[in-house]
Amino acid sequence: MRRYIFGTGIIGAVTTGLAMLRELREGQPFTWRTALIWLSWGITVALAVGAIVDRRREVVAAKIARGER
């Protein structure tokens, strides 16, 4: 499970999220550009999690095809 959690997509999404939270704490105004940045971050997180789920399903399917449990 570690190899999925520490994938580059998840690490990138977490570091970007932390940087955006830091910007909010510094008192930057919330504009439409900020909303678009948060939306794109949400899409990035969804894609990273989706890639992890797909990779996990692929591993499980390969084990089933070989007759393992």
Find where tokens 């570690």 sit.
2
Q: Which residue has the higher pLDDT, 6 or 13?
A: 13
- pLDDT, average across residues 36-53: 90
> Mean pLDDT over residues 36-45, rounded?
92
Q: Is the pLDDT of residue 1 over 70?
A: no
Please identify which residue in the block is written with the tokens 């994938």.
7
Kindly list the distances between the CA atom of residue 2 and the CA atoms of 5, 32, 67, in Å, as whole numbers in the listed order.
Answer: 5, 36, 24
**What confidence score (pLDDT) does residue 39 get?**
95
Domain boundaries, the chain: 2-66
How far apart are alpha carbons 5 and 31 in whole angstroms? 32
* pLDDT, average across residues 47-60: 86
